[in-house]
Protein backbone atom coordinates (compact mmCIF):
# COMPACT_ATOMS: atom_id res chain seq x y z
CA UNK A 1 0.00 0.00 0.00
CA UNK A 2 2.59 2.51 1.16
CA UNK A 3 6.32 2.25 0.84
CA UNK A 4 8.64 4.92 2.19
CA UNK A 5 12.33 4.80 1.24
CA UNK A 6 15.24 6.94 2.25
CA UNK A 7 12.98 9.84 3.18
CA UNK A 8 14.72 13.00 4.28
CA UNK A 9 12.80 16.08 5.31
CA UNK A 10 13.51 19.67 6.27
CA UNK A 11 11.70 22.51 7.98
CA UNK A 12 13.53 25.55 6.72
CA UNK A 13 17.16 24.94 7.60
CA UNK A 14 16.58 22.20 10.13
CA UNK A 15 17.02 18.69 8.91
CA UNK A 16 14.43 16.52 10.70
CA UNK A 17 14.18 13.23 8.82
CA UNK A 18 17.35 11.31 8.01
CA UNK A 19 16.35 8.49 5.70
CA UNK A 20 13.10 7.07 7.05
CA UNK A 21 12.16 3.64 5.65
CA UNK A 22 9.07 1.56 6.24
CA UNK A 23 6.26 -0.27 4.47
CA UNK A 24 2.60 -0.84 5.14
CA UNK A 25 0.60 -3.58 3.49
CA UNK A 26 -3.01 -3.14 2.53
CA UNK A 27 -5.39 -3.51 5.47
CA UNK A 28 -2.69 -3.21 8.13
CA UNK A 29 -2.70 -0.95 11.15
CA UNK A 30 0.85 0.21 11.78
CA UNK A 31 2.18 2.65 14.34
CA UNK A 32 5.15 4.95 14.43
CA UNK A 33 6.35 5.12 18.00
CA UNK A 34 9.23 6.86 19.66
CA UNK A 35 10.12 9.68 21.97
CA UNK A 36 9.05 13.27 21.49
CA UNK A 37 10.80 15.04 18.66
CA UNK A 38 12.10 11.99 16.79
CA UNK A 39 10.16 12.92 13.66
CA UNK A 40 6.92 10.91 13.83
CA UNK A 41 4.60 13.81 13.04
CA UNK A 42 7.08 15.11 10.50
CA UNK A 43 6.98 11.75 8.72
CA UNK A 44 3.21 11.98 8.37
CA UNK A 45 3.49 15.55 7.14
CA UNK A 46 6.17 14.51 4.66
CA UNK A 47 3.88 11.85 3.21
CA UNK A 48 1.36 14.63 2.53
CA UNK A 49 4.01 16.94 1.11
CA UNK A 50 3.61 19.50 3.87
CA UNK A 51 7.30 20.04 4.63
CA UNK A 52 9.46 22.79 3.17
CA UNK A 53 11.60 20.20 1.46
CA UNK A 54 11.54 16.42 1.27
CA UNK A 55 13.58 13.92 -0.70
CA UNK A 56 13.62 10.19 -1.20
CA UNK A 57 10.71 8.08 -2.31
CA UNK A 58 7.14 7.64 -1.13
CA UNK A 59 5.10 5.19 -3.15
CA UNK A 60 1.39 4.74 -2.80
CA UNK A 61 0.30 1.49 -4.43
CA UNK A 62 3.43 1.60 -6.52
CA UNK A 63 2.98 5.19 -7.65
CA UNK A 64 5.51 7.82 -6.62
CA UNK A 65 3.75 10.62 -4.76
CA UNK A 66 6.73 12.50 -3.38
CA UNK A 67 6.93 15.84 -5.10
CA UNK A 68 3.23 16.09 -5.87
CA UNK A 69 1.24 19.03 -4.50
CA UNK A 70 -0.48 18.36 -1.20
CA UNK A 71 -4.01 18.55 -2.60
CA UNK A 72 -3.05 16.07 -5.35
CA UNK A 73 -1.59 13.68 -2.79
CA UNK A 74 -4.78 13.85 -0.73
CA UNK A 75 -6.76 13.08 -3.88
CA UNK A 76 -4.75 9.92 -4.45
CA UNK A 77 -6.70 8.57 -1.50
CA UNK A 78 -4.89 9.58 1.67
CA UNK A 79 -6.95 10.82 4.60
CA UNK A 80 -5.14 12.86 7.24
CA UNK A 81 -6.17 13.33 10.85
CA UNK A 82 -3.80 16.04 12.08
CA UNK A 83 -2.58 16.35 15.64
CA UNK A 84 -4.68 19.47 16.23
CA UNK A 85 -7.69 17.67 14.70
CA UNK A 86 -8.11 20.39 12.11
CA UNK A 87 -11.78 21.12 12.71
CA UNK A 88 -13.03 24.27 11.03
CA UNK A 89 -14.49 26.46 13.75
CA UNK A 90 -16.69 28.51 11.45
CA UNK A 91 -18.50 25.46 10.11
CA UNK A 92 -21.01 23.20 11.84
CA UNK A 93 -20.34 19.54 12.54
CA UNK A 94 -22.25 18.49 9.45
CA UNK A 95 -20.58 21.10 7.27
CA UNK A 96 -17.20 19.91 8.53
CA UNK A 97 -18.20 16.35 7.80
CA UNK A 98 -19.31 17.11 4.26
CA UNK A 99 -16.40 19.44 3.49
CA UNK A 100 -13.69 17.03 2.28
CA UNK A 101 -14.12 16.17 -1.40
CA UNK A 102 -14.95 12.60 -2.38
CA UNK A 103 -11.78 11.49 -4.17
CA UNK A 104 -12.44 7.83 -4.88
CA UNK A 105 -15.46 5.58 -5.03
CA UNK A 106 -15.98 3.22 -2.10
CA UNK A 107 -16.11 5.69 0.75
CA UNK A 108 -18.65 5.36 3.53
CA UNK A 109 -22.00 7.07 3.07
CA UNK A 110 -22.93 9.89 5.42
CA UNK A 111 -25.40 7.56 7.13
CA UNK A 112 -22.72 4.91 7.66
CA UNK A 113 -20.43 7.55 9.13
CA UNK A 114 -23.18 8.67 11.50
CA UNK A 115 -23.73 4.99 12.33
CA UNK A 116 -20.11 4.77 13.49
CA UNK A 117 -20.34 8.08 15.34
CA UNK A 118 -23.85 8.48 16.74
CA UNK A 119 -22.62 11.32 18.94
CA UNK A 120 -21.83 13.40 15.86
CA UNK A 121 -25.31 12.88 14.50
CA UNK A 122 -26.79 14.28 17.70
CA UNK A 123 -24.55 17.30 17.43
CA UNK A 124 -24.60 17.82 13.71
CA UNK A 125 -25.93 21.39 13.85
CA UNK A 126 -23.41 22.50 16.49
CA UNK A 127 -20.55 24.80 15.63
CA UNK A 128 -17.18 23.07 15.22
CA UNK A 129 -15.73 24.96 18.18
CA UNK A 130 -18.45 23.90 20.59
CA UNK A 131 -17.36 20.28 20.55
CA UNK A 132 -15.47 18.55 23.32
CA UNK A 133 -11.98 17.26 22.55
CA UNK A 134 -13.27 13.73 22.04
CA UNK A 135 -16.03 14.86 19.71
CA UNK A 136 -13.55 16.91 17.71
CA UNK A 137 -11.31 13.88 17.38
CA UNK A 138 -14.22 11.77 16.19
CA UNK A 139 -15.24 14.42 13.68
CA UNK A 140 -11.70 14.63 12.41
CA UNK A 141 -11.67 10.88 11.78
CA UNK A 142 -15.28 10.75 10.56
CA UNK A 143 -14.89 13.33 7.85
CA UNK A 144 -12.19 11.43 5.96
CA UNK A 145 -14.16 8.18 5.86
CA UNK A 146 -16.60 9.62 3.34
CA UNK A 147 -13.94 10.54 0.82
CA UNK A 148 -12.99 7.10 -0.41
CA UNK A 149 -9.45 7.43 0.96
CA UNK A 150 -8.15 3.96 1.84
CA UNK A 151 -5.00 5.00 3.67
CA UNK A 152 -5.59 6.95 6.87
CA UNK A 153 -2.79 8.83 8.62
CA UNK A 154 -3.67 9.59 12.22
CA UNK A 155 -1.53 11.78 14.41
CA UNK A 156 -2.00 10.95 18.10
CA UNK A 157 -5.75 10.46 18.02
CA UNK A 158 -5.85 9.77 21.77
CA UNK A 159 -3.84 12.73 22.98
CA UNK A 160 -5.45 14.53 25.89
CA UNK A 161 -8.61 12.45 25.87
CA UNK A 162 -10.38 10.76 28.78
CA UNK A 163 -9.87 6.96 29.06
CA UNK A 164 -13.48 6.24 28.04
CA UNK A 165 -13.03 8.22 24.83
CA UNK A 166 -9.68 6.57 24.15
CA UNK A 167 -11.46 3.24 24.37
CA UNK A 168 -14.09 4.41 21.88
CA UNK A 169 -11.43 5.60 19.46
CA UNK A 170 -9.74 2.21 19.83
CA UNK A 171 -12.89 0.34 18.90
CA UNK A 172 -13.46 2.66 15.96
CA UNK A 173 -9.97 1.93 14.65
CA UNK A 174 -10.63 -1.79 15.04
CA UNK A 175 -13.89 -1.35 13.12
CA UNK A 176 -12.11 0.58 10.37
CA UNK A 177 -9.53 -2.20 10.11
CA UNK A 178 -12.36 -4.70 9.70
CA UNK A 179 -13.69 -2.52 6.90
CA UNK A 180 -10.33 -2.85 5.17
CA UNK A 181 -8.83 0.58 5.78
CA UNK A 182 -5.06 0.81 6.02
CA UNK A 183 -4.00 2.94 8.96
CA UNK A 184 -0.73 4.58 9.91
CA UNK A 185 -0.88 5.76 13.48
CA UNK A 186 1.48 8.05 15.34
CA UNK A 187 1.05 7.27 19.00
CA UNK A 188 2.63 8.08 22.36
CA UNK A 189 0.12 6.04 24.30
CA UNK A 190 1.81 2.70 23.94
CA UNK A 191 -0.85 0.79 25.80
CA UNK A 192 -3.38 2.05 23.28
CA UNK A 193 -1.11 1.33 20.31
CA UNK A 194 -0.53 -2.26 21.35
CA UNK A 195 -4.28 -2.80 21.49
CA UNK A 196 -5.00 -1.79 17.90
CA UNK A 197 -1.88 -2.24 15.76
CA UNK A 198 -0.37 -5.14 13.81
CA UNK A 199 3.17 -3.81 13.79
CA UNK A 200 5.17 -1.00 15.33
CA UNK A 201 7.96 0.97 13.74
CA UNK A 202 10.27 2.53 16.28
CA UNK A 203 11.73 5.92 15.38
CA UNK A 204 14.83 7.56 16.77
CA UNK A 205 16.58 10.73 15.58
CA UNK A 206 14.68 11.02 12.33
CA UNK A 207 15.09 7.37 11.36
CA UNK A 208 13.20 4.12 11.72
CA UNK A 209 15.49 1.98 13.88
CA UNK A 210 13.40 -1.10 14.52
CA UNK A 211 10.19 -2.92 13.71
CA UNK A 212 8.32 -4.97 16.26
CA UNK A 213 5.30 -7.12 15.35
CA UNK A 214 2.55 -6.76 17.89
CA UNK A 215 2.75 -10.42 18.96
CA UNK A 216 6.47 -10.00 19.82
CA UNK A 217 5.80 -7.08 22.13
CA UNK A 218 6.08 -9.03 25.35
CA UNK A 219 9.35 -10.62 24.25
CA UNK A 220 10.85 -7.31 23.21
CA UNK A 221 9.52 -5.28 26.08
CA UNK A 222 12.93 -4.50 27.54
CA UNK A 223 14.37 -3.26 24.24
CA UNK A 224 11.28 -1.19 23.64
CA UNK A 225 11.48 0.45 27.03
CA UNK A 226 14.97 1.50 26.18
CA UNK A 227 13.81 3.05 22.91
CA UNK A 228 11.00 4.92 24.54
CA UNK A 229 13.03 5.89 27.57
CA UNK A 230 10.43 4.80 30.08
Partner 1 sequence: MATETQTPVAAPAPSGGVGQRAWLFVSLIALVLLALAPFVIYPVFLMKALCFALFACAFNLLIGYVGLLSFGHAAFFGGAAYVTAHAAKVWLLPPELAILLGTLFAGVCGAAVGALAIRRQGIYFAMTTLALSQMLFFVFLQAPFTGGEDGIQGVPRGHLFGLLDLNDPYAMYFTVLAIFVGGFWFIHRIVHSPFGQVLKAIRENEQRATSLGYDVSRYKLMAFILSATLAGLAGSTKALVFQLATLTDVQWQMSGEVVLMTLLGGIGTTTGPVIGAFLVVMLQNYLATTALPATVVIGIVFIICVLVFRRGIMGEIGHLLRWKL
Q: How far is CA 140 from CA 63, 177, 197, 201, in A?
A: 27, 17, 20, 24
Q: Write down the least CB distance from residue 143 to partner 1, Å.
A: 8
- Does 10 bind partner 1 (CB under 8 A)? Our answer is no
Number of other residues whose CB lies within 10 A of the CB of residue 139: 27
CB closer to partner 1, 119 vs 200: 119
Tell me the DSSP string of 136-176.
Answer: HHHHHHHHHHTTT--EEEEE-TTTT--HHHHHHHHHHHHHH
- Does 39 bind partner 1 (CB under 8 A)? Our answer is no
Site string for partner 1, 47-86 (x = CB under 8 A): -x-x------------------xxx--xx----x-x---x
Smallest Cα–Cα separation from 134: which of 103, 179, 102, 170?
170
- Does 88 bind partner 1 (CB under 8 A)? Our answer is yes
CB closer to partner 1, 20 vs 47: 47
Rounded CA-CA distance 43/26 in Å is: 19
Q: Is 88 exposed, middle or buried (0-12, 13-18, 19+ CB in 10 A)?
A: middle
Within residues 96-125, the interface with partner 1 by CB under 8 A covers: 98-101, 103, 123-125
Within residues 119-178, the interface with partner 1 by CB under 8 A covers: 123-127, 130-135, 143-144, 147, 160, 162
Q: Write down the least CB distance from residue 37 to partner 1, Å.
A: 21
Rounded CA-CA distance 189/208 in Å is: 18
Binding residues (CB under 8 A) for partner 1: these are 48, 50, 69-71, 74-75, 80, 82, 86, 88-91, 95, 98-101, 103, 123-127, 130-135, 143-144, 147, 160, 162
Amino acid sequence: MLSVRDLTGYYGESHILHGVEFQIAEGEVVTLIGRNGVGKTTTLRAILGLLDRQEGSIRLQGEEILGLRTDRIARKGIGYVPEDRGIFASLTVEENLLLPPVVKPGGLTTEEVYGLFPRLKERRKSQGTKLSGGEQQMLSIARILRTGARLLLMDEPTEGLAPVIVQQIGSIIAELKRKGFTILLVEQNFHFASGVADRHYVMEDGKVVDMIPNDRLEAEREKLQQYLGV
